[in-house]
Amino acid sequence: MAFALSAFAPWIIEPILIAGGLFLAYEGVEKVIHVAFHRQSTKASPDQRPPEKERVRSAIVVDFILSVEIVVIALGEVMEADLAVQIAAVSAIAILATVGVYGLVALLVRMDDAGLALMQRSSALAQVLGRFLVAALPVVIKVLSVVGTAALLLVSGGIFHHHIPGVHHVLPPWPGWILDALLGVALGVWVWVLVRLCQAVWSKP
């Protein structure tokens, strides 16, 4: 008899989704607050910017949580299927998520190197393309930062919207993406305040 996860998976999947959604909402709100309230101080004092390792570590954690959420959602969609279908579906989604997320990161990391390499060639076309890649990298990163922050809030809000019992019954009949954004921001702010309160308590001598 084929083994199915439907007997015990729901009580595992829902908490994982909610916990991951809270983390993503917190990260999205954290980025918005940092841009809104710390931009001037960051420009005035470059030493206050987070270290490169810290930013890379934060990006890796967010990408990992996103990948886990995607895999868990995929698992929830095939809970009633046979074990072979569950394994095949979840494995395919996991591979696509990993290749897509980390492949994009790898391309961005090497974009300026590729541009510099092209600029050193004798071809005028290669040099123009190289200069374009180098000049475009900061713009691409800023655009992806904005899009990524919006995605964090929308994805987390969508998780809350569809996986917290009774939430959709108390929400107004607005477009889904607006409700998702509001939920992501609201719970993200709640987690942000809770984290700051805990940090303030733990930092006291």
pLDDT for 167 equals: 81
Give 10-residue mean pLDDT values along the chain (205 residues).
47 79 89 76 49 58 72 68 73 76 72 85 88 86 82 87 79 85 92 90 74
Provide the domain count of the chain: 1
pLDDT reported for residue 187: 92
Note down the domain range covering 44: 5-203
Q: DSSP letter at 9?
A: S
Q: How far apart are CA 119 and CA 131, in angstroms?
A: 6
Q: Where are the alpha helices (DSSP H) in the chain?
A: 10-44, 52-77, 83-119, 124-163, 167-170, 176-203
pLDDT at 185: 93
Q: Quick one: tokens of 165?
A: 């019992």
Which CA distances in Å does 12 have to 15, 17, 36, 66?
6, 9, 37, 17
Q: For residue 118, what pLDDT is reported?
A: 86
Per-residue model confidence (pLDDT) at position 77: 65
- At residue 2, the pLDDT reads 39
